[in-house]
Structure 1
Amino acid sequence: MFAAYVTVTIVGAVFNGAAAVTYLIGHEYPKSQADMKGLPRKWVPVLGALLAAGTLGLLAGFAVPLLGTLAAAGLVLYFIGAITAHVRVGSRDVVGGIAFLATAVAALVLGLAHRGPW
């Protein structure tokens, strides 16, 4: 159980960290996604900061389990919102969001199974 928890958490941190960097450096892809969903472009850095906080929280969860639990739960909510935003505008491009969501759910479930909520 421990190996699965560590592996999924690190994979989730890498995925979300890479996405956060993409959002925070001003790459065109997040901007075009915001435009497609009808979100103001000024939200892109905020969304990147949320991804970065989730990444750091997942990693901090190794030392402070509650932070890992909260970060994983926050990422689950983030990606439910992202998938909902895609579906709302009729976009079928949700495979990436589902992969990120699955990773966040797995990190949450394995973290809770390994160490409990605290």
Structure 2
Amino acid sequence: MVMAYAIVTVLTIVANAGIAAADFARAEFVLANSAEVGVPRSWLPWLGALKGAGAVGLLIGLLGVRPLGIAAATGLVLFFIGAVVAHVRMRVYSTMVGPVGYLGLAVASLVLALLR
């Protein structure tokens, strides 16, 4: 179980750090997707910071501060539930695979952290 937790959590960290970097860089796909779901461009640094904080919290949890890792995973689950809701609200299903994938990683990290 510890190995599964480590692997899934590292994947979640890498994925969230990557998308946070894309938010900060205002990558074209991020701008297009956020415009489609009605997220203002001014929110991108804040959303990137939340994803980055989640990745850092997961890393610290992986390194031994379990409560912080659990809190970070919980925050990411809530964040990506919000992202999925935003896609559904605007009926933008074509790009919903991203938020659903990130949500799945966050849920898996949370469950495995709790079972550890």
Alignment of 1:16-27 (within 5 A): 16-27=16-27
SS at match of 1:61: helix
Gaps of 5+ in 1: none
CA–CA distance in structure 2, aligned partners of residues 61 and 79 of structure 1:
19
Structure 1 vs Structure 2: percent identity of aligned residues? 45
Identify the residue that residue 67 of structure 1 maps to in structure 2.
68
Alignment of 1:1-118 (within 5 A): 1-62=1-62, 63-92=64-93, 93-114=95-116
Cα drift, residue 98 of structure 1: 1.2
Cα drift, residue 28 of structure 1: 1.9
Letter in 1 for 2:50: L
Cα RMSD between the aligned structures? Answer: 0.9
**Aligned residue pair count:** 114
TM-score, scaled relative to structure 2:
0.94
Deviations along 1:51-90, one digit per CA (max 9) or x if unpaired, are 0000000000022111100000000001100011011111
Gaps of 5+ in 2: none
Letter in 1 for 2:26: G
